[in-house]
């Protein structure tokens, strides 16, 4: 297995800005020990494993407190961001059925920058996803308002969206949601466990969580900036009443009915235990330190790429920064960086480079910038027909 891993990206050397959230060796040890300790236990059986049930409850409470949840708010753990989003759509749909009498022909209104998990949910539940163009890389509440009709069951905003790393104007979306009586989901998969600490560290972030009255549900991934092992996310609801639309009550079958909080039956005890261990190990102070490092890494990269002549998209405040260049083709640069061992994302609209920083990147930012400067120097100016990047 070590041999097989030799061709993998050298993420411990900071060489990837996607897939991995590296908070250092200590956190890695903690989550692995916790995962191993509960690797056989099953979240499907809270009666058999009250330990897992308790850990799940406490992780959810930790997240709710971070997101300004009101008294009576509720949540659950899921296996990942996509799972959380699918369950949020399921809950919103069942809410619309029960409370608004809506049946077929339903739709969701989302900015172009929202994650494809909403499309997946739409495919599974036969719900149309109406993608609305962004304005200055942000959700445009005015155009989204125009896309709403009586069969709209959900509005979406991201905090932040993955492509640009920018927090959508959730307050404007919240007003819209309230005015039109539509469920607003805030996708904070990549920001839910980052933004609250960045704010505590002094940044002036716009409101994006339950502090905004129109927000019904929020997804936040523990396995991203929560630094938990993969397979851990959270989905929160403003009230127990809204959360009641999330679980499945399936059957009958010979064992009676099957009640599960998510689509899954068996749920990995290890992922829940690792999330509990990391959130308790770091605590608020630990997260503030880690997230300070993330912001510093992003600021370093931001300053560095501006120096190299790139334009940063919007005004990033969290861990993601995307940047474009007037002359160089960013996707060609991406390919050249890949040849130097860097794995990061590229955007097609507009053609831009995308980096998502971890605490460990504070130490590697200079190396990234040096390599970027080198590939920029060797890349010919963009021609009318840009080369395609396959990967």
Ligand X SMILES: *Cc1c(COP(=O)(O)O)cnc(C)c1O
Cis peptide before 19 (omega within 30 of 0): no
Find all residues with CB under 8 Å of 52, minimum gap 6, and list them.
38, 41, 42, 43, 46, 269, 272, 273
Using the structure block, give the residue that is written with the tokens 């990269």: 301
111: contact with ligand X by CB under 6 A: no
List the one residue out of 129, 189, 141, 140 whose CA is nearest residue 165: 189
81: contact with ligand X by CB under 6 A: yes
Phi-psi region of 202 (alpha: psi -120 to 50; beta: other; left: phi over 0): left
Q: CB of 18: closest distance to ligand X in angstroms? A: 9
Q: Between residues 87 and 376, which has the closer beta carbon with respect to ligand X?
A: 87
Please work out the total of residues on this chain that contact ligand X, with binding judged by CB under 6 A: 14
Find all residues with CB under 8 Å of 104, minimum gap 6, and list them.
126
Neighbours of 13 (CB within 10 A): 13
Q: CB of 296: closest distance to ligand X in angstroms? A: 21
Q: CB of 314: closest distance to ligand X in angstroms? A: 15
CB 272 within 8 A of CB 77: yes
Q: Between residues 93 and 230, which has the closer beta carbon with respect to ligand X?
A: 230
Q: Between residues 52 and 188, which has the closer beta carbon with respect to ligand X?
A: 188
Find the binder of ligand X among 82, 152, 279, 379 (CB under 6 A): 82
Q: CB of 11: closest distance to ligand X in angstroms? A: 16
167: contact with ligand X by CB under 6 A: no
Residue 35 φ/ψ, nearest 5 degrees: -60, -45
Q: Between residues 226 and 335, which has the closer beta carbon with respect to ligand X?
A: 226
List the one residue out of 153, 147, 145 whose CA is nearest residue 125: 153
Q: CB of 67: closest distance to ligand X in angstroms? A: 15
209: contact with ligand X by CB under 6 A: no
162: contact with ligand X by CB under 6 A: yes
Q: Between residues 95 and 118, which has the closer beta carbon with respect to ligand X?
A: 118
Q: Between residues 85 and 89, which has the closer beta carbon with respect to ligand X?
A: 85
How far apart CA 3 and CA 9 sit, in angstroms, is 13
Q: Between residues 97 and 130, which has the closer beta carbon with respect to ligand X?
A: 130
Buried/exposed code over 336-373 (b: 16+ C-beta within 10 A; e: otherwise): bbbeeebbbbbbeeebbbbbbbbbbbbebbeebbebbe
342: contact with ligand X by CB under 6 A: no
Find the binder of ligand X among 52, 156, 166, 190 (CB under 6 A): 190
Contacts to ligand X from residues 231-250, by CB under 6 A: 233
Buried/exposed code over 33-44 (b: 16+ C-beta within 10 A; e: otherwise): ebbeebeebbbb
How far apart CA 350 and CA 324 sit, in angstroms, is 8
Q: Between residues 81 and 335, which has the closer beta carbon with respect to ligand X?
A: 81
Contacts to ligand X from residues 213-232, by CB under 6 A: 221
Stretch that binds ligand X, among 58-66, 80-88, 257-265, 292-300 (CB under 6 A): 80-88
Task: Please give the residue ranges that form the binding site for ligand X (CB under 6 A).
Answer: 80-82, 85, 115, 117, 158, 161-162, 187, 189-190, 221, 233
């Amino acid at each position: 297995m070590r041999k097989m891993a030799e061709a993998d990206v050298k993420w411990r050397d900071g060489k990837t800005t996607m897939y991995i959230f590296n908070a250092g060796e200590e956190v890695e040890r903690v989550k692995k020990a916790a995962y191993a300790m509960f690797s056989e236990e099953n979240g499907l059986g809270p009666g058999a494993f009250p330990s897992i049930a308790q850990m799940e409850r406490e992780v959810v409470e930790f997240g709710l407190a971070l997101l300004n949840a009101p008294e009576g708010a509720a949540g659950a753990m899921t296996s990942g961001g996509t799972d959380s989003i699918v369950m949020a759509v399921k809950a919103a749909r069942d809410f619309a059925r029960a409370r608004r009498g809506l049946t077929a022909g339903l739709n969701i209104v989302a900015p172009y920058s929202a994650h494809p998990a909403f499309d997946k949910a739409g495919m599974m539940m036969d719900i149309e996803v109406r993608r609305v163009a962004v304005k200055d890389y942000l959700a445009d509440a005015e155009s989204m308002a125009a896309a709403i009709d009586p069969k709209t069951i959900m509005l979406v905003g991201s905090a932040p969206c993955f492509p640009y790393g920018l927090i959508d104007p959730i307050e404007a979306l919240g007003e819209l949601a309230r005015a039109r009586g539509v469920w607003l989901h805030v996708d904070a998969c990549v920001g839910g466990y980052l933004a609250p600490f960045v704010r505590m560290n002094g940044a002036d972030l716009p409101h994006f969580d339950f502090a905004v009255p129109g927000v019904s549900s929020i997804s936040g991934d523990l396995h991203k900036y929560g630094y938990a092992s993969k397979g851990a996310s959270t989905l929160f609801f403003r009230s127990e009443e809204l959360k009641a639309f999330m679980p499945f009550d399936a059957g009958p079958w010979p064992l009676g009915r099957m009640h599960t909080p998510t689509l899954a039956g068996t749920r990995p005890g290890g992922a829940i235990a690792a999330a509990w261990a990391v959130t308790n190990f770091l605590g608020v102070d630990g997260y503030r330190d880690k997230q300070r490092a993330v912001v510093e890494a992003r600021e370093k990269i931001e300053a560095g790429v501006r120096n190299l002549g790139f334009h940063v998209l919007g005004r990033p405040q969290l861990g993601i920064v995307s940047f474009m260049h007037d002359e160089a083709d960013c996707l060609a640069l991406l390919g050249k960086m890949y040849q130097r061992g860097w794995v990061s994302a590229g955007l097609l609209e507009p053609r831009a480079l995308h980096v998502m920083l971890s605490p460990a990147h504070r130490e590697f930012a200079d190396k990234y910038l040096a390599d970027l400067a080198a590939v920029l120097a060797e890349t010919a100016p963009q021609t009318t027909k840009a080369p395609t990047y396959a990967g």
